[in-house]
Amino acid sequence: MITKNDRAVWLKGGNALCSVTPQPPPGKTWRLVLLGAPGVGKGTQAQLLSEHLGACHLSTGDVFRAAKCLADGERSPALDHALGFMRRGELVPDEIVLDMVGERVCCLRCCGGFLLDGFPRTVAQAEALERLLQREKVALTAALDFELPIDEIVARLGGRRTCSGCKAVFHVTGLPPRVEGVCDHCGGKLIQREDDRPEAIRVRMEAYKKSTRPLMEFYQKRGLLVTIAAGKAPDETFQRTMKILNDVVAHSTNSR
């Protein structure tokens, strides 16, 4: 297994340095965009792929969460702007997300490769990423779209229970608390959030499909879209993903 990077450059930006010097992984350097609706297990797959391929997991959501913990002088200009929108409960505009990614362009051209998660979300962002990678003379390997039937997504997200006190998250079947309805950590009451109710989840999934369809078409036209059926067991999905990626390598080699 390859030593995991602490992603300091990605999370902090500026003059930050990763604690592990990036090294080219044995074999191919992977540069992937990860797509998939909430509940498909994309985060778990990102972790498994990162550990196996040596590619750094570059999550824009992690950057925004880390920004809240950084002192004023430690945040990059784009993060300062983004944090203002987040504190007001507003979506961060495309141009600020693009600025944030642009400040971290060294992560995109890193010899270790990357798994880009949470960006791009729109065709405009995908086009901007394409221009940025072309300017850096870096080629995207594939855009992986993890898919799961809506009923399974409802079961996964609908089973989540959140502590009303410390906000710890449990699952009625996947990660049940020791005492039903009671948080293991602080003893608080476990509740089902409104957006985790089945009817709300279905509305969110329809909105997700509608908003991401143009993005899927964008990568499909470029021959980069790879659809992966996300199963119940993370290891099965990972093995399926690796087989597909190896097929991608074989195809690109035979096409030369």
Q: Which of 7, 12, 104, 160 is catalytic?
A: 160
Which of 12, 42, 75, 156 is flagged as catalytic? 42
Q: Is the Cα dihedral 107, 108, 113, 115 positive or negative?
A: positive
Contact 10, 104 (CB under 8 A): yes
Q: Give yes or no: 160 in active site.
A: yes
Q: Who's near 106: CB < 8 A, 6+ residues apart?
A: 9
Beta bridge partners of 32: 115, 142
Q: How far apart are CA 64 and CA 116, in angstroms?
A: 14
Give bridge partners of residue 225 from the DSSP assignment. 143
- Catalytic hit among 28, 121, 197, 202: 121
Number of Cβ within a 10 Å radius of residue 215: 21
Q: Is 204 a catalytic residue?
A: yes
Residue 117, CA distances (Å) to 37, 47, 107, 163 in order? 12, 11, 13, 27
Q: Is 42 designated active site?
A: yes
Which residues, at least 6 apart from 157, have a Cβ–Cβ distance to it below 8 Å?
38, 39, 196, 201
Among 193, 209, 213, 232, the active-site one is 193
* Enzyme catalytic residues: 42, 121, 160, 193, 204
